[in-house]
């Protein structure tokens, strides 16, 4: 069965108020929840470029209007301020579900107030309910965090993970694990067409400046001429993916025939000390580091096995860390400069 993702006839029933499509023309109507965030806004750019009609749903918890402002005035783009924890009625063909407070700083600070678990559960349930009602295809952006502190290395999609259910990270990890469960239950129980991506650490322009993730921290610290804060002994590893690679992977997954889950990440593995060295090379050779105590339950290592995505989605990342990092520096410099000007510095 082909999914209802293309409109081949003039479409009359839409509540989105979009311009009707001519007979024979194909245009996909897409919702991106969390589309004003870092990954979401890059995805929106590519969907719009392809010619899709895009509706962004965002409550601006960590997202910013600035990330999508360049589409204002485009009749194929619409921005709705809405919390996915509440139900919503729309008519679309595809739902990319990204909305989620994704940074450790935000979710650990106050997991209840910041509603991480609630967003993952209620938000995902609502988007699946929507997908079920309108026959849309649903894609969940899950995370490598479902593997917890992995006992298998690199991680394959068949690995079930090692997550502490009562730890400070669990609102995020278990929230996403529950979201995956809901997604598969709606697929098996209600016939919803679903896709699951397990995203590994991703970086690029428009990342939140101060959300505490390691790449944004090191890059911002180096630009501000402050020491880069290495947590623990800095020997823990992560694999860093440039955002355009992720967006390509998400779209290949959505438009492909396979449910997943699929690991989407760059297998290049770095210790935090090595990452600091690369940031130093790229931004400021005189940058220094400073050790800080590590946080609880920090995974010791992480690296995706991407053979499944390579084989079934014909996808693999193209941008190595040394090429990707320089691409975010200008954006960070400009925003840091604006911030400083705002403070009257
Ligand atoms: P982000 O914080 O930049 O984007 C998340 C967006 O969701 C923000 O715009 C935020 O305002 C919005 N949002 C949060 N709660 C919401 C709610 N209840 N209702 C509506 N909107 C809400 O983070 P990101 O890095 O772009 O992450 C996007 C998705 O990818 C998330 O689901 C995240 O878990 C997943 N992911 C990201 C990474 C990464 O390294 N960036 C890694 C693994 C998974
Ligand atoms: N939902 C939504 N938009 C829709 C359809 C459903 O937000 O167009 C929400 C609905 O409010 C519910 C959730 O999705 O909270 C799950 O919907 P479903 O129909 O699966 O469950 P039910 O409403 O029967 O409990
Ligand atoms: N980290 C660090 N310095 C920082 C922020 C994070 O050394 O300023 C470490 C952190 O302890 C972890 C790794 O970098 O081992 C990745 O952290 P991040 O929060 O970016 O992602 P996640 O832990 O979710 O993979």
Element (H, E) at 197: strand 194-199
Phi, psi of 231 (to 5 degrees): -85, 140
CB-ligand 2 contact for 92 (6 Å cutoff): no
Residue with tokens 């129980």: 189
CB-ligand 1 contact for 201 (6 Å cutoff): yes
Report helix angle 38-50 to 243-255, nearest 10: 60
Residue with tokens 């339950």: 297
Catalytic: which of 172, 186, 203, 242? Answer: 172
**pLDDT per residue rounded down to tens, the chain (345 residues):** 344 443 333 333 344 434 444 454 568 999 999 999 999 999 999 999 999 999 999 999 999 999 999 999 999 999 999 999 999 999 999 999 999 987 766 666 666 655 678 899 999 999 999 999 999 999 999 999 999 999 999 999 999 999 999 988 888 899 999 999 999 999 999 999 999 999 999 999 999 988 899 999 999 999 999 999 999 999 999 999 999 999 999 999 999 999 999 999 999 999 999 999 999 999 999 999 999 999 888 889 999 999 999 999 999 999 999 999 999 999 999 999 988 776 654
CB-ligand 3 contact for 236 (6 Å cutoff): yes
- Is 172 a catalytic site residue? yes
Q: Are 63 and 36 in contact (CB under 8 A)?
A: yes
Q: Are 84 and 127 in contact (CB under 8 A)?
A: yes
Q: State which of 66, 98, 116, 198 you would mutate to test the pocket of ligand 1, scoring each by most atoms of that ligand within 8 A of its C-beta.
A: 98
| 3-state SS assignment for residue 333 | helix
Q: Both tokens of residue 282?
A: 């790229």
Phi, psi of 10 (to 5 degrees): -55, 130
Instruction: Tell me how far apart the alpha carbons of residues 69 and 60 are, in angstroms, rounded to a whole number.
Output: 13
Q: What is the CA angle 71-206-124, rounded to 5? A: 80
DSSP state of 66: G
Closest CA to 225 of 340, 137, 83: 340
Q: Are 234 and 291 in contact (CB under 8 A)?
A: yes
What's the pTM?
0.92
Q: Both tokens of residue 122?
A: 């209620």
CB-ligand 2 contact for 125 (6 Å cutoff): yes
| 3-state SS assignment for residue 138 | strand
Distance 162 CA to ligand 1 centre (A): 23
DSSP state of 156: P
Model pLDDT, residue 101: 84
Burial level of 174, CB count in 10 A (0-12/13-18/19+)? buried
């Amino acid at each position: 069965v082909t999914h209802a993702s293309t409109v081949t006839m003039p479409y009359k029933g839409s509540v989105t108020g979009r311009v009707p499509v001519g007979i024979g023309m194909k245009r996909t109507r897409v919702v991106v929840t969390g589309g004003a965030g870092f990954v979401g806004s890059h995805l929106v750019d590519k969907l719009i470029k392809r010619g899709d009609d895009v509706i962004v749903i965002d409550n601006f918890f960590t997202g910013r209007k600035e990330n999508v402002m360049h589409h204002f005035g485009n009749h194929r783009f619409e921005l709705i301020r809405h919390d996915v924890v509440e139900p919503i009625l729309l008519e679309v063909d595809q739902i990319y579900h990204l909305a989620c407070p994704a940074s450790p700083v935000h979710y650990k600070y106050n997991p209840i107030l910041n509603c991480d678990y609630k967003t993952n559960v209620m938000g995902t349930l609502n988007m699946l309910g929507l997908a079920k009602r309108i026959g849309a295809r649903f894609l969940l952006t899950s995370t490598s965090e479902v593997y917890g502190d992995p006992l298998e290395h690199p991680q394959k999609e068949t690995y079930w993970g090692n997550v502490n259910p009562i730890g400070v990270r669990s609102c995020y990890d278990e929230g996403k694990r529950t979201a995956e469960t809901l997604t598969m239950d709606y697929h098996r129980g209600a016939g919803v067409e679903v896709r699951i991506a397990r995203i590994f650490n991703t970086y690029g322009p428009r990342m939140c400046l101060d959300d505490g993730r390691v790449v944004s921290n090191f890059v911002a610290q180096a630009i501000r001429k402050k020491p880069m804060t290495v947590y623990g002994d800095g020997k823990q590893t992560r694999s860093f993916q440039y955002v355009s690679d992720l967006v390509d992977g998400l779209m290949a997954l959505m438009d492909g025939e396979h449910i997943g889950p699929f690991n989407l990440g760059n297998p290049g593995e770095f210790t935090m000390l090595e990452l600091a060295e690369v940031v130093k090379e790229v931004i400021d050779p005189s940058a220094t580091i400073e050790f800080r105590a590590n946080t609880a339950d920090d995974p010791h290592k992480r690296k995706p096995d991407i053979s499944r995505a390579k084989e079934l989605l014909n996808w693999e990342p193209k941008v190595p860390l040394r090429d990707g990092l320089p691409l975010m520096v200008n954006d960070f410099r400009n925003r840091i400069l604006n911030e400083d000007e705002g403070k009257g510095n």
